[in-house]
């Protein structure tokens, strides 16, 4: 019965991610129509406002955990997660090539992604699982969040007709690993700013490793970010 309730929450979480992706698409189209290019960097935030507002009114946003903030192991796990995720991403055959301001904006995009991933999705799942009386609440919340964002990457690839290959596998694996580690950090601290900094650092580190790899091997690259749920 508990497994059924867990799967039910994953289903509702996946539907929530679909709503978020839909809002992101609509807002992105409006921004493009307005021809205000800098607003596109806030698309992630804009698409999260309504869902987060509704979640805060019904289930509540996951609270700050003072005891967790004081635990050194939380920060160690965060750093290890950043490194492991960057290693996985940079194992791909193709290279994410960024330079100059592009690197900064790439990092900021990751930073902003923590708002829907943690403040929206993880808060929703924690509240829903708590209401349904699922035991090991923190554990299941972290796992469910990771699974849902991986499902989001696969769905997005399907809609965009992107072929599932080795690179896609590494994108999904990196997303899941990052969501487990940083999801734990958020669950222990309740501070979105910490996870935002972590996602920013992961993007910057990945770019650095990619640049070193490209310089050594002169590898061809494609300039896009696969799977915003990294």
Mean pLDDT of 13-26: 96
Please compute, for residue 91, the number of CA atoms within 13 A of its CA located in the half-sphere on the CB side.
16
Say what the alpha-carbon torsion angle 50, 45, 80, 140 is, to the nearest 10 degrees.
10
* Length reported for the chain: 230
Q: Is pLDDT of 219 > 80? A: no
Q: Is pLDDT of 211 > 90? A: no
Looking at residue 218, its pLDDT comes to 59
Cα 33 to Cα 20, 40, 115, distances in angstroms: 20, 11, 25
Looking at residue 225, its pLDDT comes to 38
Q: In whole numbers, what is the pLDDT of the chain averaged over residues?
A: 90
Asked whether the beta carbons of 34 and 101 are under 8 A apart, the reply is no
Looking at residue 228, its pLDDT comes to 47
Looking at residue 20, its pLDDT comes to 97
- Give residue-wise pLDDT tens across range 28-77: 999 989 888 788 889 999 999 999 999 999 999 999 999 999 999 999 99
CA distance 217 to 230: 25
Looking at residue 217, its pLDDT comes to 61
Give me the residue label for tokens 């935030």: 45
Q: Which residues contact 32 (CB under 8 A, 6 or more apart)?
A: 40
Q: Phi and psi of 221, rounded to 5°?
A: -135, 160
Burial class (CB in 10 A: 0-12, 13-18, 19+), 173: middle
CA distance 66 to 69: 5
In percent, how much of the chain has pLDDT > 90?
A: 75
Mean pLDDT of 206-226: 66
Q: Which residues contact 121 (CB under 8 A, 6 or more apart)?
A: 13, 16, 17, 145, 148, 149
Q: Is pLDDT of 82 > 70? A: yes
Domain spans in the chain, listed from the N-terminal domain onward: 2-217
Q: Is pLDDT of 95 > 80? A: no
Q: Is pLDDT of 131 > 90? A: yes
Mapped onto helix, strand or coil, the DSSP state of residue 99 is coil
Query: How many CB atoms are closer than 10 A to CB 24?
Result: 17
Mean pLDDT of 85-89: 95
């Amino acid at each position: 019965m508990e497994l059924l309730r867990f799967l039910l929450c994953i289903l509702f979480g996946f539907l929530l991610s679909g709503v978020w992706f839909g809002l992101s698409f609509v807002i992105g189209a409006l921004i493009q129509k307005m021809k205000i290019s800098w607003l596109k960097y806030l698309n992630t935030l804009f698409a999260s406002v309504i869902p987060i507002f509704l979640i805060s009114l019904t289930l509540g946003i996951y609270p700050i955990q003072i005891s967790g903030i004081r635990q050194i192991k939380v920060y160690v796990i965060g750093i290890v997660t950043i490194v492991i995720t960057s290693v996985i991403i940079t194992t791909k055959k193709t290279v994410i090539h960024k330079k100059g301001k592009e690197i900064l904006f790439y990092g900021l995009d990751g930073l902003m992604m923590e708002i829907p991933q943690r403040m929206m999705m993880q808060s929703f799942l924690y509240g829903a699982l708590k209401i349904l009386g699922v035991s090991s609440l923190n554990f299941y919340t972290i796992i469910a969040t990771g699974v849902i964002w991986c499902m989001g990457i696969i769905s997005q690839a399907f809609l965009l007709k992107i072929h599932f290959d080795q690179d896609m596998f590494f994108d999904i694996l990196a997303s899941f690993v990052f969501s487990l580690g940083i999801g734990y950090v958020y669950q222990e601290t309740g501070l979105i700013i910490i996870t935002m900094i972590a996602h920013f650092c992961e993007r910057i580190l990945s770019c650095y490793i990619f640049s070193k790899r490209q310089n050594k091997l002169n590898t061809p690259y494609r300039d896009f970010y696969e799977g915003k749920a990294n």
